[in-house]
């Protein structure tokens, strides 16, 4: 194996001991009736849904306390009555690629260059209602700030009176989720390839003090060649030490998020453990029909492996899935460098990962420009028109977008 540290410095960034301070190991007693049964008998098969603002998320300390105090006082300014051509008119909206809590992602085409893009359309009213203004601002700011071959590129962002728009590079190979569900589970060889690309990009984000917080197969796309592109920075955040927002997707939540103890970059390493398990086994290690059942299983962390999982895969997964963050792989003294040196990754040439030189195991079919056959079919819903009076009741919330 080449030494990745020579040319990939962020795989060896220094351990920030402050990020682990006060992160105590869990002292929950195991209840013998509470065995997690990792059998695919519930809804694991469906998409993991990130729930940003249900009741159990109300400890969210990053929400703006002044949100409810906003008024529409500034709505009568002249500015609201000057009609400006919407930047949206540059694009022809085509079919839906994916749906989410705040809106949809559509394929679109620039009318001049004829280039295809994915446009993420987020409803302002919904964002304000679910108190997600700050998360959406983070999404745009972080996507504008980071640039990496494994991260989807943000072309431009704009808004009109109803919606926010993020125009992204179109990644045509579909979600890793669909490819995984189609075949059931991946061989360890295939899982290792995707895991290596993901480790690489997460280490990069952490080196920029960005914690991603929503790692799951639905947010990992395959490009035309089959390499990973990570999308959806809706929960990403600049974090040097700890943060307290309770957000993410139940099956992928780290125990410290559920406990509301404050969390940091280590949550992404936990999620990589869940992801490797799900790729190899075909379903996540902890799931239940309701999120609370899932949280219970995560906190007890009773990990069971089917017999076909190799000893070294068991070891890396268990090392990521350490409830005690101070013992979690990726969050130890050498951070990501410990991950790349783990025996399960022994066959990986990290310099080739860096240069995207390993031939991907799945090469998506992409027959013509704007081919969307790798995405699920969604009944179409047109983008809501702007109101004729041009008034934007949410203007004051999105000045930073």
- Binding positions for ligand ADP, rule: CB under 6 A: 97-98, 100-101, 105, 118, 120, 152, 168-171, 175, 218-219, 221, 231-232, 234
Measured from the CB atom, is 236 or 348 closer to Mg ion?
236
47 is in an annotated binding site: no
Residues with Cβ < 8 Å from 226, sequence gap 6 or more?
Answer: 173, 359, 360, 361, 362, 363, 364
Contact in structure between 205 and 211 (CB atoms under 8 Å) = yes
Q: 79, 160, 214, 355: which one is catalytic?
A: 214
Measured from the CB atom, is 324 or 371 closer to ligand ADP?
371
Residue at shortest CB range from ligand ADP = 100
Measured from the CB atom, is 11 or 164 closer to Mg ion?
164
Q: What's the closest the beta carbon of residue 377 comes to ligand ADP, in angstroms? A: 12
Residues with Cβ < 8 Å from 331, sequence gap 6 or more?
Answer: 19, 20, 265, 266, 269, 325
Both structure tokens of 44: 């694991």
282 binding partner (options Mg ion, ligand ADP, none; Cβ < 5 to 8 Å by kind): none
Q: Which of 305, 344, 298, 340 is nearest to 321 (CA)?
A: 298
Q: What's the closest the beta carbon of residue 378 comes to ligand ADP, in angstroms? A: 10
Q: What's the closest the beta carbon of residue 375 comes to ligand ADP, in angstroms? A: 6
Q: What's the closest the beta carbon of residue 88 comes to ligand ADP, in angstroms? A: 17
Specify which residues 175 forms β-bridges with.
Answer: 221
Could you confirm whether 16 is annotated as catalytic? no
Measured from the CB atom, is 218 or 278 closer to ligand ADP?
218
Place of tokens 């992160």: 23
251 binding partner (options ligand ADP, Mg ion, none; Cβ < 5 to 8 Å by kind): none
Nearest-10 crossing angle of helices 266-281, 188-207: 170
Contact in structure between 378 and 157 (CB atoms under 8 Å) = no
Contact in structure between 199 and 341 (CB atoms under 8 Å) = no
Binding residues for ATP: 120
Q: Residues forming the annotated binding site?
A: 120
Q: Show which residues are catalytic.
A: 214
């Amino acid at each position: 194996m080449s030494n990745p540290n020579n040319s990939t410095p962020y795989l060896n960034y220094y351990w920030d001991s402050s990020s682990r301070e006060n992160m105590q190991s869990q002292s929950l007693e195991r209840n013998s009736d509470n065995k997690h049964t990792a059998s695919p008998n519930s809804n694991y098969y469906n998409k993991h849904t990130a729930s940003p603002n249900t009741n159990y998320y109300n400890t969210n300390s990053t929400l703006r306390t002044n949100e409810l105090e906003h008024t529409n006082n500034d709505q009568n300014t002249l500015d609201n009555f000057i009609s400006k051509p919407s930047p949206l008119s540059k694009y022809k909206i085509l079919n839906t690629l994916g749906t989410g809590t705040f809106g949809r992602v559509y394929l679109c085409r620039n009318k001049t260059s004829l280039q295809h893009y994915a446009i993420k359309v987020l409803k302002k009213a919904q964002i304000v209602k679910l108190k997600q203004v700050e998360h959406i601002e983070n999404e745009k700011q972080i996507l504008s700030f980071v640039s990496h071959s494994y991260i989807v590129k943000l072309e431009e962002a704009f808004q009109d009176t109803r919606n926010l728009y993020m125009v992204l590079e179109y990644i045509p190979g579909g979600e890793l989720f669909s490819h995984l569900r189609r075949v059931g589970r991946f061989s360890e060889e295939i899982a290792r390839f995707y895991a290596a690309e993901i480790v690489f990009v997460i280490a990069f984000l952490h080196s920029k003090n960005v914690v991603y917080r929503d790692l799951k197969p639905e947010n990992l796309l395959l490009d035309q060649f089959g390499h990973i592109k990570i999308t959806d920075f809706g929960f990403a955040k600049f974090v040097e030490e700890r943060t307290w927002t309770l957000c993410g997707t139940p099956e992928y939540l780290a125990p410290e998020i559920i406990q509301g103890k404050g969390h940091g970059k280590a949550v992404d390493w936990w999620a990589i453990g869940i992801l490797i398990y799900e790729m190899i086994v075909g379903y996540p290690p902890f799931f239940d029909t309701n999120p609370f059942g899932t949280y219970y299983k995560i906190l007890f962390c009773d990990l069971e492996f089917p017999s076909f999982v190799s000893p070294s895969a068991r070891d890396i997964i268990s090392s990521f899935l350490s409830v005690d963050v101070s013992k979690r792989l990726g969050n130890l003294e050498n951070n990501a460098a410990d991950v790349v040196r783990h025996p399960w990754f022994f066959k990986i040439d990290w310099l080739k990962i860096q240069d995207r030189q390993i031939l991907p195991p799945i090469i998506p079919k992409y027959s013509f420009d704007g081919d969307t056959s790798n995405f699920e079919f969604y009944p179409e819903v047109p983008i809501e028109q702007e109101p004729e009076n041009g008034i934007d009741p949410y203007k004051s919330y999105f000045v930073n977008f």
